[in-house]
Amino acid sequence: MKRFAALLERLAFTPSRNAKLQILRHYLERTPDPDRGYALAALTGDLKLRAVTPSLLRRLVAERFDAELFALSYDFVGDLAETIALIWDGTPQGDLSLAEAVQILETTGKAGLPAAIARVLDRLGPSERLAFLKLATGNLRIGLSARLARTALAGMGAPDIADIEEIWHGLTPPYAEVFDWIAGGPRPAHAARAPFRPVMLSTPVDLDDLRGLDPADHVAEWKWDGIRVQAVSDGGVRRLYSRTGEDVSGAFPDVIAEMNFEGAVDGELLVRRAGEVASFNELQQRLNRKTVSRAMLGSHPAGLRVYDLLIWGGEDLRSRPLMDRRAVLEAADFGSDRIDVSALLAFDGWDDLAALRADPPAAVIEGVMIKRRDSPYVGGRPRGPWFKWKRDPRVVDAVLMYAQRGHGKRSGFYSDFTFGLWADDQLVPVGKAYFGFTDEELRQLDRFVRSNTTERFGPVRAVAPKLVLEVAFEGVNRSTRHKSGVALRFPRISLIRWDKPVEEADRLVTLEAMIEGEDAARPGTRHGRARRRGTEAPVADPDEGGA
């Protein structure tokens, strides 16, 4: 665990992408099998171990430590695993290989797991304890994407990242055949049926960026507010994958049943009723489910809007130009009213497209996708072929109510902020944001929280209502899970309003009016205006709906 612990620590505190690649590549080159394979699986999110829950860890702590002492320690550190690693009173006794740690977590039964974890913690030092607990909980938080981890692997030998990603879905840890391939051995066979292929992603763009491009070289289509999926039908095996390769088939049996084709298509998963696309909030009711009730299938019917073809008629189309693939797509017969083709938009210049983007026919449209006519389908995020031009974000002025300690590099700061709006004379929480500010602004916010704390709840502090935050967000939906009755999509802090009195912050009715406006704005009508921030720079989309 010492090597793995050192790797996690170095990656967590190294901001440079190239430096992260070098650190990980050196680890993979110098660490023997199977430890390096298990480390790679952990970093890519492909190591599926028995879940160790926070409640299990808290029960372990309760048996060893004074509750008040641990609560104070946890409040100071802000991270459960890190607090346990620091406070645990074991005596280091040699080392534990990563493979041994994985075997313990894989094979130990539920009843014996707490004692097994305690025995491991007893024999490790603080850094190794933290690495083991992060492995056990699946919560590494080191700022390294799965693709970047595979890019480091590709840097070790002849196969490039595209070759590795093409077969990754059919592999299992600890990847002995992959390391053999990199060392000059045979290419691993792709064992999976209906395999996932690497998805092509887009980059944010604005009108100034587009001015330097020829609109005649591009096509555009609406960016719908659903989730990006790859639908694969292969020899009777049908699968739906998220853009990261997660199998979501179980949550959408109605779509699976309609995939009467052989091939792999790229599209958007949406909830649709009578031809109208519902909000993302309604689609979200279907996500993360192993099974779906008959009532849910009836009330939230799902469909697929296809953007592109990867495999069709037994032919791999990805190397062909977009418009060639598009011609095959438009001629394809999916044989289902649940599956249709994304239409191209008619525009002569970027100002024409800007006018369409500013006034889309449905409130659930996020913006437009722009793609080069000659672009091949390339996995990852190549710069240039595909762009997303999202609508300007909506903004509200909210009041800071609570702050929670961050994790990893932010564990010493209050960095997760809950904010609220006025409902009559009371503030009600409407969302939580943990990005959108600079490092210097984080330090300012942290000082403000510490100086204006009114109550403490473990790692969370209640803050005196003195500070207004301008919060940008992509959409708003009704929610029964929140006291305010609303939920924001992708909220982030766009501006700290040190100058603004809290009495002038927005009211809950502002968000409710936005929802009512979107409820009334159905396809074929124009949605009402909401307050938008037109000068916002392009923002990364965590969901990557559309592309």
Q: Give the pLDDT mean for 423-450.
A: 92
Q: Give the pLDDT mean for 10-36.
A: 94
Q: Give the pLDDT mean for 476-494.
A: 84
Closest C-alpha among 446, 271, 473, 453 to residue 366: 473
What is the band of 21 on the pLDDT scale with cuts at 50, 70, 90?
very high
> What kind and span of H or E run contains 57?
helix 54-64
Say whether pLDDT at 545 is over 60.
no
What is the band of 544 on the pLDDT scale with cuts at 50, 70, 90?
very low
CB atoms within 10 A of CB 333: 8
Residue boundaries of the structural domains of the chain: 2-137, 203-390, 394-520
The CATH superfamily of 394-520 is Nucleic acid-binding proteins (2.40.50.140)
Q: Which of 309-313, 323-327, 430-434, 524-528 is least confident?
A: 524-528
Burial 234-261 (b: 16+ CB within 10 A, else e): eeeebbbbbbebeebbebbebbbebbeb
Say whether pLDDT at 539 is over 50.
no
- Percent pLDDT > 90 in the chain is 66
> What is the reported pLDDT for 517?
56
d(CA 142, CA 145): 9
CATH 1.20.120.610 fits 2-137, yes or no: no
> What is the reported pLDDT for 274?
84
> What is the reported pLDDT for 405?
84
pLDDT tens-place string over residues 235-293 = 899 999 999 888 999 999 999 999 999 999 999 999 999 889 998 878 988 988 888 99
Q: Give the pLDDT mean for 44-61.
A: 89
CB atoms within 10 A of CB 73: 17
What is the band of 191 on the pLDDT scale with cuts at 50, 70, 90?
low
**Alpha helices, DSSP H only, in 401-529?**
439-451, 508-520
Query: How does DSSP assign 297-315, residue by residue?
Result: HHHS-EEEEEEEEEEETTE
> What is the reported pLDDT for 525?
36
Q: Do domains 2-137 and 394-520 have the same CATH topology?
A: no
Burial of 316: CB neighbours in 10 Å, binned 0-12, 13-18, 19+:
middle
For residue 286 the two structure tokens come to 């279907």
Q: What integer best gives the mean pLDDT of the chain?
A: 89
Peptide bond into 174 cis (omega under 30): yes
The CATH superfamily of 203-390 is DNA ligase/mRNA capping enzyme (3.30.470.30)
Total-model pTM: 0.75
d(CA 463, CA 401): 5
Q: Give the pLDDT mean for 375-394.
A: 91
